[in-house]
Amino acid sequence: MITIQNKYWQVGILPETGASIAFGRIRHNDAWVDVMRPTLESDWGNSSNCSSFVMLPWCNRIKDGVLRFEEKTYQLKTTKDDGTARHGDVRKRDWTVDKIDANHIHMSLQSIDFPDMNWPFKFSAQAEYRLDKEKFIWILSIKNEDSQPFPTGFGHHPYFVKPTGANAPHVQIPCQQYFELTDYMATDAAVPVTPKLDFQKMRALDDLELNHVFTKRSGHEPARMLYPEWGATLEMFSDPLFEHILLYAPKGEPFYAVEPMTNASDGFNLFANHIEGSGVFILQPGEEKQAIVELVVSKS
């Protein structure tokens, strides 16, 4: 594990576990407190249990692992528990560390270095984490290294701590629409948020059970997470390419997730079926796309 740190943030990075984040801490009363779900050392090799992992070359799920593009069909390997292709195929890979200093790390990956890569097209990717005063910056990109175009998407899967009672976090998701999901996957275009799922104003998570993909963000408004216990607010600013935010709060667990994603869950089938809002984009040979997330901490 590699630690980067400044006055405001202390962050652990795991290059050999998909460029995942092991912990994200902020200062409170001259001590470090975990705002991202910390990873047990015994789980440093398991991206699913990390504070955050990278999803690339697709986000979330592809139904039955069937990828359709330009009248061709590709069968991806699927997970045993739900039969989908899930969360991309770089989070368990060993990324190369290219540059590193006290508050910055840059990593890269070439798909051709992994003969069992679960993707039918050649690509490269870069992941960078940088601390700049109050900002914890995530930079992620993918480049088409193939001789033909392909559809793709990427995102982050960060988990945050979830105290209970009066210290329960308050969350704001500045999105006007959401996707109605079947088995956690979108099957049609997004619809206006219902009162139950309206997080456009800050509200407590409490014991809500959530696994919803939101979209149609209000301009450049960030997602916000308020922690009363520490008088701290995290603002998640993300580039427009991250069209979707998945809010995941499993009932009874001490964590939740706010995930910036380019494509919706099963967005590749939305795209293949010409349904609006999939978030899937096409990369031409040699083309590269990059998007940035800034997690900004402020104290009241």
Q: Given pLDDT bands bounded at 50, 70 and 90, which one contains residue 74? A: very high
The architecture of the domain spanning 2-299 is Distorted Sandwich (2.70)
How many degrees, rounded to 5, is the angle at CA 295 between CA 248 and CA 168? 50
State yes or no: pLDDT of 105 exceeds 90: yes
Domain ranges of the chain: 2-299
**Predicted pLDDT of residue 206:** 82
pLDDT digits (tens, 9 = 90+) for 45-68: 999 999 999 999 999 999 999 999
DSSP secondary-structure letter at 56?
Answer: B
**Which residues make beta-bridge pairs with 226?**
170, 233
CA neighbor of 117 nearest in space, from 88, 160, 144, 152: 88
**Which residues make beta-bridge pairs with 268?**
none
State yes or no: pLDDT of 102 exceeds 90: yes
| Mean per-residue pLDDT of the chain | 97
pLDDT digits (tens, 9 = 90+) for 168-181: 999 999 999 999 99
Say which amino acid occupies 136.
Answer: F
**Predicted pLDDT of residue 140:** 98
| Mean pLDDT along residues 5-20 | 98
d(CA 94, CA 43): 15
pLDDT digits (tens, 9 = 90+) for 203-229: 999 888 999 999 999 989 999 999 999
Q: Which helix (H) or strand (E) holds 232?
A: strand 232-238
How would you class 120 by CB atoms within 10 Å of its CB: exposed for 0-12, middle for 13-18, buried for 19 or more? middle
- Look at residue 155 and give its three-state secondary structure: strand
- In the chain, the percentage of residues whose pLDDT exceeds 90 is 95
**Predicted pLDDT of residue 208:** 87
Q: Which helix (H) or strand (E) holds 30?
A: none
- In the chain, the percentage of residues whose pLDDT exceeds 70 is 100
d(CA 163, CA 287): 43
Q: How many CA atoms lie within 13 A of 88 on its CB side?
A: 28
d(CA 300, CA 187): 42
pLDDT digits (tens, 9 = 90+) for 260-299: 999 999 999 999 999 999 999 999 999 999 999 999 999 9
Say which amino acid occupies 278.
Answer: S
Q: How many CA atoms lie within 13 A of 178 on its CB side?
A: 22
Phi/psi region, residue 183 (left: phi>0; alpha: psi -120 to 50; beta: rest), is left
DSSP secondary-structure letter at 165?
Answer: G
